[in-house]
Structure 1
Amino acid sequence: MDIEKKIELVSRKPTEEVLTVDNLKDLLEMGMPLQHYIGFEISGYIHLGTGLMAGAKIADFQKAGIKTRVFLADWHSWINDKLGGDLEIIQKVALGYFKEGMKQSIKVMGGDPDKVEFVLASEILEKGDYWRTVIDISKNVTLARMMRSITIMGRQMGEAIDFAKLIYPAMQVADIFYQGVSIAHAGMDQRKAHVIAREVAEKLKYNPLLWGGKKVKPTAVHHHLLLGLQEPPKWPIESEEEFKEIKAQMKMSKSKPYSAVFIHDTPDEIREKLRKAFCPAREVNYNPVLDWAEYIIFREEPTEFTIHRPAKFGGDVTYTTFEELKKDFAEGKIHPLDLKNAVAEY
């Protein structure tokens, strides 16, 4: 496979951003063996935003010939008070439900779960030289920058937190370098940690990413965050800037069960959640049901997506591209309930 095809696979939906495409091209051209990783907090049930979006990109990385790794961040979950802050429970869920759930998600999206390496954070964090890497990174980042970066944990800037949470961003960056990761992958909400990793890459004394004796910056790949099914905290949204400000509150969330579809939900549960979903008529910019259609159903085009309707309402209609569906919905040719039902049944 040529380099351009590999870049195309890495960059395609649900990827929203590659930092940077030129960096990725350089890594490929220099012949460096590429190691991908994506890290997950262990915080409960896996929803489609986690399982299918990450699974889709893992499948793409595999098709591009890149080694893939899922990092089960048990210590990070403990720091961030997940599952009651009980490390033993976190580890049990990580190696049981979460690992198996991610394997199935990867398989559904066209990847090979047997070719994914699953690593429990404890396996590397309990080695002494890992913490030397954390300190090396911390010496190259200001306290103010660390405090701004706590949003990667789903925390708000200015929120009262315990001191352990300030270590978290440096740990997430250390995970990249300590594991020799050349492609750091996550949702867009993890961008701040990856930007730090790229900025400190050439300053590190311990465990930098090396190729040919030269320090190398990792490439960061950020996938789309599926919108939650709930109505946004403010409606209508007046501008793209306003949307960006509240987007973090609109993503699918385990803490809001009706905003998310979980990988183990029954067909009836999925239908019920989609029926209640926020889906304003003719609205194509801030519409979670259309968002799901674009990033799950129309991830690969052309595809066939059929909306079934009685003949008196226009009869069945089939779309092969998202733009066709989007256009008809914007023009009022598709009723929101018909779209919801079709997405639920896909």
Structure 2
Amino acid sequence: MNKIDLITRNLEEVLTKNDLVNLVNNKERLVHYIGFEISGFLHLGTGLMSMLKVVDFQKAAIKCQIFLADWHSYINDKLTGDLKTIQKIAVGYYKEGFSVCLEALGGNSQKIDFILGSDLYHNNDKYWLTFIEISKNTTLSRVQRSIDIMGRKEKDIVDFAKLCYPLMQVADIFLLRANLVHAGLDQRKAHVIARDVALNLSYAPLLDKKKNKIKPIALHHHILLGLQQPPKYPITKEEIKEMPIDLKMSKSKPDSCIFIHDSPEEIEKKILKAFCPPNDVEYNPPLDWIYWLILPIKKEIKIKTSNGIKIYKEDKKNILIEDYKKGEIHPLDLKEALVRELISIIEPIFKHFNKGTAKKLKGELENIKK
């Protein structure tokens, strides 16, 4: 597999493919970044879906950075809104969680740069100059439209600090010198702002080898659906795109997600209760998880069908979609296959977090959440 294919596989969107091809062909140094708020337990979307792409980037010899966004979490009222608590969980449980997920997927956590937001901002005049410069190149209405990157809706009443959040996220990109900006599709608006302002920046612009200003390339992976029934059903493709906050996996709704250290019994219980309408391939959480997560990890999955056991492979996964649509796979058989494969992936992580230092770090976050 060539470098471009490795970088872009299993993504929903690349902004833009031409820009990426140019960087690779010109042999530019590729620097990746993905940032995370510090809040509740890591679920499959943050822990596995995100790290699955980081493994690809490592295989492509890209410098990878995981940004632990303590200030953003404080602004967004996470973990009781206490900055010191957020910082403790960031460098403890979150760093441990991402590391063990990465290792479970075949990556190397020792080659990841974990960066705490506070460390980037401390005594860093260039950061705040860049933040102001980005602000001068962005309208207030655009910032207001972008607060859904925080899991909030545009119509929500928010304090002024939350309007700083999207522009701080954009500034992070430039101060981290990241020309490959990675996130779920829900962070698209911040990344588009970054691309739009990139050529107007003077304090910390992204530069190529010839010192020309360049735009960061946005790499967006799929947002896994929550396991619950959507607020409105049936639901169209267009409505799914318009309601991403309501539909995605959420730490605040434990039954909507699988956490990275859930027990086999918890995984089975949640999956068997999941919304899984027969023949529906447009909004079907178990099918969504198999398509976007299980097959890219396991490369194949065995599922009982009306014609006996069938093996579905990653490179022909649309056959799975067609078979389910035709009714050849019963929802319960789909769920049972998902349970089996998820347990095999997560069980080593579950065991890791039930002993030693990892168990202690998990307990610290659990106590804060109570």
Q: What band does the TM-score fall into relative to the shorter chain?
A: over 0.9
Is the Cα–Cα contact under 8 Å of residues 304 and 329 in structure 2 kept in the other structure? no
User: Aligned to 1:54, which of 50, 53, 68?
Assistant: 50
| Cα distance in 2 for residues equivalent to 1:124 and 1:169 | 17
Task: Sort the Cα spacing of 1:300 and 1:101 in 2 relative to 1 into closer, same or farther, 3 A.
Answer: closer
Deviation of residue 201 (structure 1)? 0.5
Q: Superposition pairs for residues 156-167 of structure 1, below 5 Å?
A: 156-167=153-164
1:327 correspondence with 2:322: yes
1:132 correspondence with 2:129: yes
| SS of equivalent to 2:54 | helix
User: Aligned to 2:337, which of 335, 339, 342?
Assistant: 342
Deviation of residue 260 (structure 1)? 0.3
Q: Superposition pairs for residues 291-306 of structure 1, below 5 Å?
A: 291-299=288-296, 303-306=299-302
| Cα distance in 2 for residues equivalent to 1:104 and 1:325 | 30
Greater fraction helix: 2
1:233 correspondence with 2:231: yes
Aligned to 2:200: 203
Cα deviations by residue, 1:110-146 (Å, 9 ceiling, x for unpaired): 2211111100010011223211110011010011111
| SS of equivalent to 1:117 | strand
User: Aligned to 1:70, which of 66, 73, 90?
Assistant: 66
Is the Cα–Cα contact under 8 Å of residues 55 and 107 in structure 1 kept in the other structure? no
| Cα distance in 1 for residues equivalent to 2:163 and 2:139 | 11
Aligned to 1:284: 281
| SS of equivalent to 2:200 | coil
Alignment RMSD: 1.5
| Cα distance in 2 for residues equivalent to 1:261 and 1:183 | 28
Could you tell me the TM-score, scaled by structure 1's length? 0.94
| Cα distance in 1 for residues equivalent to 2:142 and 2:130 | 18
Aligned to 2:180: 183
Is the Cα–Cα contact under 8 Å of residues 38 and 90 in structure 2 kept in the other structure? yes
Identity %: 54
Cα deviations by residue, 1:295-335 (Å, 9 ceiling, x for unpaired): 1121168x3312358xxx76533323422222222121211
Cα deviations by residue, 1:128-167 (Å, 9 ceiling, x for unpaired): 3211110011010011111111111111102111111111
Structure 1 stretches of 4+ with a deviation exceeding 3 A read: 313-317
Paired AA for residue 262 in structure 1? F
User: Aligned to 2:213, which of 212, 215, 228?
Assistant: 215
Is the Cα–Cα contact under 8 Å of residues 49 and 226 in structure 1 kept in the other structure? yes
Paired AA for residue 136 in structure 2? K
Deviation of residue 284 (structure 1)? 1.1
Is the Cα–Cα contact under 8 Å of residues 195 and 215 in structure 2 kept in the other structure? yes
Q: Structure 1: which 5+ runs fail to align?
A: none
Deviation of residue 109 (structure 1)? 2.1
| Cα distance in 2 for residues equivalent to 1:51 and 1:300 | 13
Paired AA for residue 201 in structure 1? A
| Cα distance in 2 for residues equivalent to 1:218 and 1:94 | 26
Cα deviations by residue, 1:84-120 (Å, 9 ceiling, x for unpaired): 1110110111111111100111122222111111000
| SS of equivalent to 1:299 | helix
